[in-house]
Amino acid sequence: MGQKWITLENILVEKLILWGIGLGRDTTGKKVLISWGAIPESVVDIRVLKNRSNRIEGQILRVVKRSPLEARLPEHFQVYGGCRWLPIPHEKQLEIKEQQMREVFTHHPEMVEGVAWHPIVASPEVYGYRNKVEFSWWKYISAREGVHDDYRFGFHESGQFDRIVNCTYCVLGDEVVNDIFTAFNAFARENRIPTYDVKTGVGFWRHLVIRRSKKTGETMVVVSVNINYLGDDQQVEFRKALKKFIGMIPVITSGYLLHNTGKADIVQGFFEHIAGTKTITEKLFDLEFEISPKSFFQTNTLWAEELYRVTGEMIRTKNPVVFDLYAGTGTIGMVLANRAREVYSVEIVPEASEDNMRNLTKNNIKNVTVINAPVEKLLEEWKKEGKTPDVIVIDPPRVGMHPDAPGILRDFNPEEIIYVSCNPATLVRDIALIAPNGEYRITDITPVDMFPHTHHIEAVVRMERAS
Ligand SMILES: C[S@@+](CC[C@H](N)C(=O)[O-])C[C@H]1O[C@@H](n2cnc3c(N)ncnc32)[C@H](O)[C@@H]1O
């Protein structure tokens, strides 16, 4: 029996708003928000998911009329959840992102009065830019759909968390990443051990993570498996075969076998070092960073350089004392260190702070202090101690700052605040909390094209003390 859905037909996608959601209108003029892969100027039929008083939310069922903007992609390109904007020409993507950045200030026009809007900074590479790609092995068995597929290896389908599409070519990884993926695909198929089933927790192959330094070419693979699926003798045999296989791919300089026995579909567990070096080295400008399998590192190396260049250029205070808040592995603080008197680098994740300290030593940087603590707690302590930063750089996660943090931050009265944002919505919310009565005014906004072919937008915003 066919599924009964409420549908809406012939909806024109007028534009894309934040998160890549398409905006259209029904015949009464009510807003229609269209998720998963809308392309501006296309006409689509949608399946209605929610009908609210002020808007309808739905998913595309079929494309009735293709958008004149839609690019013809080379045959070997595939569109997954992670590169959904591929059919939109890159120039148009940049235009959309710039537009979206301006639109988030629609309800706060006073914030952007007299602001210098700088052009969006494009990623230096449009394809093959990712220094880390994560593939998944999967099964897909569905009696309802009549599908029984024991082996899939690739990426999650757009908007589907329980389904993997076989990858043949990853546009966001470079040729080496694709070659390694292809080799592992053949290796896993030949070796006949079953893929892991997330529903039952039975099976072996789970994820392949490939990390490749853009600057040095050093390449790490992490083979994530449910090791307990094999008996002790089989484990010994498998390890031997895997080492031999990795040894035949000279471009791989570091190899790990991840004992991933947890049920959650994430890359975690015990990392057993099995080949080459334990870390790979990446570079930003003339700084070197050691990357271990657990380290966080910006996934677009060349783009990260652009982001940090823009961040540095925004700072006008000479020889400042800088708070680098939400520091991750401390890359922003390290890049700023040679023009600052002192940098205080604050991060909540212990492993990231440890990486930060190791990289400071490696690069012989002496004027950065690393503190592993929640920003909101530490700022309270520093306020009592009477610390006086000249510049505060904040780079919070997508959810933005903890609600206690903006007010305390303002109390430090720094000359400048530089907000590096990966979520325009929380950016505007936090700015309103930092300067509810115009204590700081925005002087500059530079959108940065973080990941081409995705809806993500990064922006660097400079604020200065109003008086
Ligand atoms: C967008 S990342 C920024 C990373 C870094 N600035 C960089 O350029 O690579 C946000 C960081 O904030 C950290 N974080 C999240 N909440 C935090 C909190 N309350 N206090 C301190 N750090 C936090 C996360 O662990 C993450 O490393």
For position 2, what pLDDT does the model report?
54
Residue type, 113: E
Atom 26 of ligand 1, residue of closest alpha carbon? 328
Tens digits of per-residue pLDDT, 269-294? 999 999 999 999 999 999 999 999 98
Q: DSSP 3-state assignment of 164?
A: strand
Clarify whether residues 120 and 183 are in a common domain: no
- Cα dihedral 437, 438, 440, 443 in deg (nearest 10): 160
Cα(406)–Cα(332) distance, rounded to whole angstroms? 20
Range of 14's domain?
Answer: 7-69
Active site residues: 422
Nearest to 119 by CA among 463, 462, 459: 459
Give the pLDDT confidence of 350-394 residue by residue, as tens digits: 989 999 999 999 999 999 999 999 999 999 999 999 999 999 999
Same domain as 220, residue 360: no
In a domain, 258, yes or no: yes
Query: In whole angstroms, how far apart are CA 169 and each of 32, 138, 226?
Result: 34, 17, 26
Query: From residue 41, how far is each of 87, 292, 356, 402 by CA, in Å?
Result: 13, 44, 46, 38
Question: Residue 422 belongs to a domain with what CATH number?
Answer: 3.40.50.150
On whether both 138 and 119 belong to a single domain, the answer is no
Give the model confidence (pLDDT) of 417-448 as tens digits. 999 999 999 999 999 999 999 999 999 999 99
User: Do 433 and 347 belong together in one domain?
Assistant: yes
Give kind and range of the element (H or E) at residue 273.
strand 270-276
| Alpha carbon of 375 to ligand 1 centroid (Å) | 9
* 350/381 same-domain check: yes
Ligand 1 site residues (CB inside 6 A) read 298, 326-328, 331-332, 346-349, 352, 374-376, 395-397, 402, 422
Give the pLDDT confidence score for residue 83 in this predicted structure.
86
Q: Which residue has the higher pLDDT, 140 or 193?
A: 193
Tell me the average pLDDT of the chain: 93
Same domain for 349 and 312: yes
Token readout for 101 is: 């950045």
444 and 331 in a common domain: yes
Q: Distance (Å, rounded) from C-alpha 50 to C-alpha 43? A: 20
Closest CA to ligand 1's atom 2: 397
- Ligand 1 mean position, distance from CA 299 (Å): 15
Bridge partners of residue 164, in order along the sequence = 156
- 221 shares a domain with 201: yes
**Is residue 278 in some structural domain?**
yes
298 vs 69: CA distance, rounded Å: 31
Q: Are residues 118 and 138 in the same domain?
A: no
CATH number at residue 148: 2.40.50.1070
Q: How many domains does the chain have?
A: 3
Closest Cα to residue 303, out of 88, 70, 132, 424?
Answer: 132
159 pLDDT higher than 70: no
pTM: 0.89
Given a cut of 80, is residue 331 above it in pLDDT? yes
Shared domain check, 382 and 318: yes
138 lies in the same domain as 216 = yes
- Spell out the long-range contacts of 22-31 with Cβ–Cβ below 8 A and sequence spacing 24 or more: 26/56, 30/54, 30/55, 30/56, 31/55, 31/56
Ranking 117-121, 297-301, 402-406 by mean pLDDT, the lowest is 297-301
Å from CA of 329 to ligand 1 middle:
9
Q: Which of 348, 356, 370, 399 to mutate to test the pocket of ligand 1 (most atoms within 8 A of CB)?
A: 348
Do 112 and 177 sit in the same domain of this protein?
no
Nearest CA to ligand 1 atom 13: 326
